Amino acid sequence: MPEITLYNAEGQETGNVSLNENIFDVEVNEHVVHEVVVAQLAAKRVGTAKTKTRGEVSGGGRKPWRQKGTGRARHGSIRSPLWVGGGTTFGPQPRKYKKKVPKKVKKLAIKSALTSKVEENNLVVLDNIDFAEPKTKKMVSLLDKFGVASEKVLIVLDERNDNVYKSARNLQGVRVVTPNRVTVYDLLNSKKVIMTKEAVSKVEEVLS
């Protein structure tokens, strides 16, 4: 069972935390991670891009000129895709980009991402994170103690804490979530992952 150093909010070591080997020490499956990330990014796409076909643009009900005798090419409508102002051929139409991914695959991908963070020493566990009031300076000070004040950081709390959330929301690249909101993309997109001790237990509970 892997162990990781436990810190307090001052950046001081206070002991060790045992991690569940079935979650934080699994074989990293890059294919599954890639599949889930692609699905998550696809789900964020709005899919509202649309162009009009020749049947949707206005005008063009009358043949522009007679079929023969003018010396010009034959045309049946000024709204043909060949004409300026005509319809678009094979243009984008509204669609859904969402991809279905089995729950087991999602869990395996998150386990792989968490294992990668542990192997890279980019997982920090704190005994607790709690601010008496929302203060961005306090969050910057906390991140600075671990040398990630200017990095992308994912903070995982065991439960929603408005003071911590509000202290971090003005910091670019810092995201605060609860265990059930942890995604593979957020894990991979963050340089460091900071979790409270209770959050580790809840993550293990969610993924077990």
Q: What pLDDT is stored for residue 91 in this prediction?
A: 94
Q: What pLDDT is stored for residue 125 in this prediction?
A: 95
Residue 84, Cβ density class (10 Å: 0-12 exposed, 13-18 middle, ≥19 buried) = exposed
Identity of the amino acid at 173: G
User: Pairing relation of β-strands 13-18 and 3-7?
Assistant: antiparallel
Last residue of a domain, one of 61, 80, 96: 96
- Does the pTM surpass 0.85? The reply is no
Q: Are 163 and 103 found together in one domain?
A: yes
Q: What is the pLDDT along the chain (208 residues), one digit of tens a residue?
A: 788 999 998 889 899 999 999 999 999 999 999 999 999 999 999 999 999 999 999 988 889 999 999 999 999 999 999 999 999 999 999 999 999 999 999 999 999 999 999 999 999 999 999 898 999 999 999 999 998 888 899 999 999 999 999 999 999 999 999 999 999 999 999 999 999 999 999 999 999 8
Q: What pLDDT is stored for residue 197 in this prediction?
A: 94
Q: What pLDDT is stored for residue 166 in this prediction?
A: 95
Q: What Rg, from alpha-carbon coordinates, does the chain have? A: 27
Q: Are 62 and 162 found together in one domain?
A: no
Q: What pLDDT is stored for residue 190 in this prediction?
A: 95
Q: What pLDDT is stored for residue 96 in this prediction?
A: 93
Last residue of a domain, one of 73, 96, 119: 96
Q: Are 61 and 82 found together in one domain?
A: yes
CB 55 within 8 A of CB 17: no
Q: Are 21 and 92 found together in one domain?
A: no
Q: Are 78 and 118 found together in one domain?
A: no
Q: Which residues contact 23 (CB under 8 A, 6 or more apart)?
A: 111, 114, 115, 203, 204, 207, 208
Q: Are 133 and 118 found together in one domain?
A: yes
Q: Are 203 and 117 found together in one domain?
A: yes
Residue with tokens 């150093």: 5
Q: Are 65 and 117 found together in one domain?
A: no
Number of domains in the chain: 2
Structural domain span for residue 159:
3-45+97-207
Q: Are 189 and 137 found together in one domain?
A: yes
Q: Are 21 and 59 found together in one domain?
A: no
What CATH number has the domain bearing residue 186?
3.40.1370.10
Q: Are 79 and 108 found together in one domain?
A: no
Task: Give first-to-last CA distance, the chain, whole Å.
Answer: 15
Q: Are 158 and 185 found together in one domain?
A: yes
